[in-house]
Structure 1
Amino acid sequence: MTLTSPFTVWEGDDVHGRRAVLTGVGIRLDRLFARAPGAARHVIPTGLDLTGEVQGRLHGRFPGVEGDWLGVVNYEIGYADGRREKLHLVDQLVPFHVLRKRE
């Protein structure tokens, strides 16, 4: 099931099924999970790696009351210790200023 918005773009038809169009995006984790200025740093080697950019799939949009846009995105975050499994996040509302369209 996909969280749909009034701005979700669909492909397919009623006979063969409809699917939300997925747009590839980069998500800048440093901006999405910005640390508070002056916050003490305590490294946890088994914690989530919230640095850099990860790939995601945008499939919906919602406007905020003040005109800011939020994207509905599926993406994964890796762990700092390099393990293969990742945390899978589905239907997350993410501000557009942390997204970058991928080609």
Structure 2
Amino acid sequence: MLNSPFTVWEGDNVHGRRAVVTGVSVRLDSLFARAPGAARHVIATGLDLTGAAKGQLHGRFPSVDGDWLGVVNYEIGYADGRQGKLYLVDQLVPFHVLRKL
């Protein structure tokens, strides 16, 4: 777990402290928005960046402009439906693409 000044902790020093992990969904369409008018070239084995992916929020940081970024672990599936997924760890994600589960 990432230990940041903004990590939320539970427990105490006697019984142990643990970082609070919050279940979230990551709106991939918003996180990986395509440029307006960009040509589409389908790659069947590419990553499926549509819909939402389940993730675990375990840290947070503010930006200089006051926007919040979450530190999130999540998985992205492939367009061809294979079992394996790309597992992303400690990714900075804007809060506006996260939804609490």
Question: Which TM bucket (shorter chain)?
Answer: over 0.9
TM-score if structure 1 supplies the norm length?
0.91
Cα 1:40–1:3 change in 2 (3 A) is same
> Quick one: which amino acid aligns to residue 35 of structure 1?
R
| Unaligned residue ranges in structure 1 (runs of 5+) | none
Where do 4+ consecutive residues of structure 1 move more than 2 Å? 11-19
Q: Distance in 1 between matches of 2:18 and 2:89?
A: 16
Offset, 1:69: 0.4
TM-score normalised by L of structure 2: 0.93
**Number of residue pairs aligned between Structure 1 and Structure 2:** 101
Q: How much has 1:14 moved relative to structure 2? A: 4.2
With 3-12 and 31-40 compared, the bigger mean Cα shift is at 3-12
Q: Output the CA distance in 1 between the equivalents of 2:14 and 2:45.
A: 47
- Give the aligned residue type for 2:56: R
Q: Structure 2: where are the runs of 5+ without partners?
A: none
Shift of 1:12: 3.7
CA RMSD across the alignment: 1.2
Equivalent residue letter for 1:32:
L
Distance in 1 (CA, whole Å) between partners of 2:34 and 2:25 is 20
Distance 2:12 2:42 in 1: 50
Question: Equivalent residue for 2:76?
Answer: 77
Corresponding residue of 2:39: 40
Matched, 1:92 2:61: no
> What does residue 30 of structure 2 align with?
31
What is the DSSP-based 3-state SS (H/G/I as helix, E as strand, rest coil) of the residue aligned with 1:60? strand
